[in-house]
Amino acid sequence: MTAERTLVLVKPDGVQRGLIGEVVARLERRGLHLVGLKLMVIDEDLAARHYAEHVGKPFYPGLVRFITSAPVVAMVWEGPDAVALVRSTMGATNPAASAPGTIRGDLAVSIGTNIVHGSDSPARAEVEIGLFFHTKELVSWGSAVAEWTLGG
């Protein structure tokens, strides 16, 4: 089985609202495996690299202002199909369209402040993990319950 990795951010609104534990708990309960974690403030340069695909869109300046405005929690989660599993646990970008039961569908009302980021493809995940973490900050550890979550 190939384990995939993906970058997750608890965005400034999630940290300010005390939802770090809520996001971590949902991903842990889903069965994914945490391999990197840090609290940090994103600077303008990192924001520009992370959100490069959105440069030039009308919401881009506000997005950069928001993501650099207060600390975030950056994490790397691992598991089969980790990218897709995180995206489905997050819910749709616009909370008005996010299904109840998802992080955004349960906890967010605004597209600008939607609590959580997750990489949108395995290729993008690799790039984003490299932006936020040094290889030595990622810790691989054997999960004693893996056979019960991953089907052995």
| Interface contacts to Mg ion, rule CB under 5 A | 120
Rounded least distance, CB 118 to ligand DAT, Å: 7
Joined tokens for residue 25:
């708990």
* 50 interacts with ligand DAT by CB under 6 A: no
DSSP characters over 40-107? E---HHHHHHHTGGGTTSTTHHHHHHHHTSS-EEEEEEEETTHHHHHHHHH--SSGGGSPBTBHHHHH
Neighbouring-strand partners of residue 33: 78
Q: Which residue from 5, 33, 50, 117 is in contact with ligand DAT, where contact means CB under 6 A?
A: 117
Closest CA to 44 of 21, 20, 25, 60: 60
Stretch that binds ligand DAT, among 27-35, 40-48, 77-85, 108-116 (CB under 6 A): 108-116
Using the minimum distance from each CB to ligand DAT, give the nearer residue, 111 or 131.
Answer: 111
Nearer to ligand DAT, 59 or 148 (CB): 59
Active site residues: 117
Q: Which residues bind ligand DAT (CB under 6 A)?
A: 59, 63, 93, 111-112, 114, 117, 120
